[in-house]
Structure 1
Amino acid sequence: MADEGKASGCKISIVVPVYNTESYLSQCIDSLLSQTYRQIEIILVDDGSTDQSGAICDEYQQTNHRIKVLHQCNKGRVSARKNGLRYASGEFVSFVDSDDWIESDMCERMLCLALTSGADLVTSGFIQEEGDVWEERTDAFQEGLYNSEQQLKEIRANAMIYKGTDRLGLLSSIWTKLYRKELALDAMGLVPETMRRGEDFVFNHLYLLKCRSVYISKGVYYHYRCYEGSTVTSPCPDFIRQIGMSHLILRQAFGRMPDGEKLLKQLNTRILLDFIRLWNGEVGGQVPVPYYCFNYEKLGEGRIVLYGAGKVGTDYHRQLVKTMSGKLVLWVDKNYKKYWPKEYGVEPVERIKHVCFDKVFIAVESEKLAGEIRRELTEKFRIEEYRILWQPPMCYWL
């Protein structure tokens, strides 16, 4: 629990963007008013609601001095959060969506970690509620304080893609974290108000660049309600442009960092995976199509020859060109004429004899076929076993 001496002067401002959530809003506000840590202010930003949400906010303000209500024309969550931040008087700030709710000890426990560790960012997990199904989610990193330059580099290098997997290192959600207000103001100022998808993701990674310390917590206090008709599940017709906006903003920010190249590779992969996952829901694709990815860490460093131009090879090639283009020296396949010409060109396997490379990466799904290719490379081309790589492809479905 928060040390009373340390916490007595610390206020948490909780910013709640509100838009047409009259059915859930009271539960949300009640959960905030029930916090065991009392030094809070609740800023409800009515984003031009057309139902009774604005009136509900006003009713709560009349009965509790800790509640401030702001009304604005409908401009979206980013605008509402920016507006709330401008009126926040707390040293720390957190965000809650108006159709969700939090456990009564969330603020106290998060503040305790912030004060005892001195962290600029404290994270936690959440429970996703979809009907009767509840699922807990937490950050992939181990719990604890990360405050050295090397530790912060580790956080940044694995925040979007955790150690070569498809898992997020840090949850993208804005509402599972406690921020220092001044840093949050700076980061939120860089997020365009036109963003409707990925705004939490962009904000968190901009904020992370400003952090001198991060505390990863495995506590789970936030209840995220997932239902048909919510803002997040509603269709976004321009989601491709939204993804492009996320990429552009973060690419510019990462370009100024010493470890910017690693961050950019991670960003490209994350954007690709998110695009795959969003495709069916946003664009309406109905036919499931496999998309194959590989583990970057297991691939390692060095100049690469990619062997295979089928479905797996094409997907691998797209990723390599996007994230590791300087390392790809040749793309080959036995049936190269079937695939040639292409934008980057598939060449006959014999071309391996005429290029300098460090490893051959076999891009096929079947382990048996990979074994046959491996034998061909060792026996016919005299390539050492340790220079030939194959890994079971990670398959996602469009």
Structure 2
Amino acid sequence: MILSVVVPVYNVQAYLRQCIDSILGQTFQEIEIILVDDGSTDESAVICDEYAEADPRVKVFHQKNTGLVGARKKGVELSSSTYITFVDSDDFIEKESYNRAVDSMKEGIDVICFGITRYYENEKAPKAEHSLFDEKIYQKTDMMQKIVPYMIWNEKRGGFGLDPSLCIKIIKRELLTKSYKLLKEQNFYYAEDSAIIFPVIYMANSMEVRYDSFYNHRRRKDETCRPYFQDKDFLKKLYIVYKHLADFFNDSPALIKQIEQFFMYSVNLRKRAYGEDYEKTEHLFPFDRIEKGKRIVLYGAGKLGKTYYHQLLQISYCEVVLWVDKNYQKFKNYGVSAVEEINKVTYDKIVVAIESADVAQAVRNYLLEKGVQDSDIILACCLKN
């Protein structure tokens, strides 16, 4: 068998039959379909069993609810084919979908990327989208020059460089297995495909970009604010993705910058849970240079200092034991103290949240004169995007 189709299933009885029928109806028949029932409480589990009994190509695995990451990972583990792709259980595909990729799979291309069609339940016309990268086959050298440096975040576009959706890619099983093994935590939903696909692309030796679209991604009427944005732990779970990608790409400053831009964009999406609009954030707290749970002194109560302070409040990443500013009287309502208070508290790091390099260096020199270790001082002016 050359291709396994993994379908994570959770409470989608209204859409599941259309999804499975679209896969079984493929003109390319040499596939196995793995339905991972992730603890459904509606009729989804029963529907899965019906299809498994009727067609030997369909396998079903029932498990307690682990979330999308766990369900997809289990599907990868259960697969027996050279290649794997995914279909979300409320989506559907065109009948020629996998037939279009047969030649590429026989050539042994590591990752095959297609376009996507957004299918709207509110009767808006379907919208087809394709990659920003040129339509062709890329070998390793070409990938490292033309794909990898730009794949995570396109600053001008304000979106992904490469659409991370696993559902519009056909990937060698060995690469997916490696990527899932790298993931230390799986208790998150938002950006789960980003956590997997970007390391896959980096590890791949070849990749094909195709503009044709076979995958119909359903946008439901009730999706004005998706459930994961309303999750009270959204920001903590988002940090799991940030840390995972930052650790993997720690030797690439260009990709670290893109990861931070994605993180800042995503933090702002949390506002949707409160009915607020997205607002671009230009600065990100230096999460990659300070371990979680450390005690910090925040030096600077201007725009940058306030940005850092509110980010930390939202994600509960570090404990701000003291917030200081030379002109602290102007910011007393924010709980800002005099600089001289630093020697009265116990801390691990001092973050100088001042954009001006000259002023920040002057603060650094002052702190060194007061006996602060240079390794305990982090200058924000050196971390600008």
- Normalising by structure 1, we get a TM-score of 0.68
Indicate the residue corresponding to 1:35 in structure 2: 26
Identity between Structure 1 and Structure 2 (%): 30
Q: 1:55 aligns with which of 32, 46, 58?
A: 46
Query: How far 1:233 moved relative to its partner?
Result: 2.0
Pair 1:338–1:233, CA change in 2 (3 A)? same
1:225 is paired with a residue whose SS is: strand
Which AA in structure 2 matches 1:37?
F
Structure 1 distance, partners of 2:39, 2:223, is 16
Are 1:124 and 2:114 matched, yes or no? yes
2:280 to 265, 274, 291: 291
Q: Deviations over 1:14-67 (max 9, x none)?
A: 000000000000000000001111100000011110000000010111111110
Equivalent-residue separation in structure 1 for 2:279 and 2:74 (angstroms):
43
Q: Which residue of 1 aligns with 2:212?
A: 219
Q: Does 1:177 align with 2:169?
A: yes
Is 1:344 matched with 2:336? no
How far apart are 1:289 and its partner, in Å? 7.0
- Matches of 1:182 and 1:20, distance apart in 2: 30
5 Å-filtered alignment, 1:160-171, equals 160-162=152-154, 164-171=156-163
**Which residue number in structure 1 is paired with residue 247 of structure 2?**
252
1:186 paired to 2:178:
yes
Residue matched to 2:233? 238
Deviation at 1:202, TM superposition (A): 0.6
Task: Tell me by how many angstroms 1:226 deviates.
Answer: 1.6
How do 1:297-376 residues align onto structure 2 when only pairs under 5 Å count?
343-345=352-354
Q: Secondary structure at the match of 1:165?
A: coil
Q: Is the 8 A contact 1:46 1:54 kept in 2?
A: yes
Instruction: Give the equivalent residue in structure 2 for 1:374.
Output: none
> How many correspondences in the alignment?
303
Quick one: distance in 1 between partners of 2:270 and 2:34?
Answer: 35
- Unmatched runs of 5 consecutive residues or more in structure 2: 284-300, 311-328, 337-350, 363-385
Q: 1:178 to 1:232 in 2, by over 3 A?
A: farther
The one-letter code matched in structure 2 to 1:253 is: F
CA–CA distance in structure 2, aligned partners of residues 347 and 338 of structure 1: 19
**Native 8 Å contact 1:82 1:189 kept in 2:** no
Check if 1:78 corresponds to 2:69: yes
Amino acid in the other structure paired with 1:180: K
Q: Which residue of 2 aligns with 1:95?
A: 86
- Aligned pairs (5 A) from 1:15-34: 15-34=6-25
**Structure 2 Cα separation of the partners of residues 184 and 152 of structure 1:** 19
* CA distance in structure 1 between the aligned counterparts of 2:209 and 2:303, rounded to whole angstroms: 39
Q: Is the 8 A contact 1:140 1:167 kept in 2?
A: no
Aligned pair partner of 2:2 in 11, 36, 41: 11
Contact 2:84 2:171 in 1 (8 A): yes
RMSD across aligned positions (CA): 3.3
The one-letter code of the counterpart of 2:154 is Y
Q: Secondary structure at the match of 2:197?
A: helix
TM-superposed deviation, 1:108: 1.3
Structure 1 residue 114: Cα displacement:
3.4
SS in structure 1 opposite 2:7?
strand
Give 1:153 shift: 3.5
8 Å Cα contact 2:271-2:278 kept in structure 1: no
Query: Does the CA-based 8 Å contact 2:265-2:281 persist in structure 1?
Result: no
1:232 Cα offset (Å): 8.8
1:114 touches 1:215 (CA, 8 Å); kept in 2?
no
Q: How far apart are the structure 2 equivalents of 1:157 and 1:87?
A: 33
**d(CA) in 2 for partners of 1:36 and 1:247?**
40
Q: 1:109 aligns with which of 59, 80, 100?
A: 100
User: Which amino acid letter does the alignment assign opposite residue 209 of structure 1?
Assistant: Y
Structure 1's consecutive aligned runs of 4 or more residues displaced over 4 angstroms after TM superposition are 228-232, 309-312
3-state SS, counterpart of residue 127 of structure 1:
strand
CA deviation map 1:322-378 (0-9, x unaligned): xxxxxxxxxxxxxxx999x99534669xx89x99xxxxxxxxxxxxxxxxxxxxxxx
TM-score computed with the length of structure 2 as normaliser: 0.70
Q: Which consecutive residues of structure 1, in runs of 5 or more, have no partner in the other structure?
A: 1-9, 295-308, 319-336, 356-398
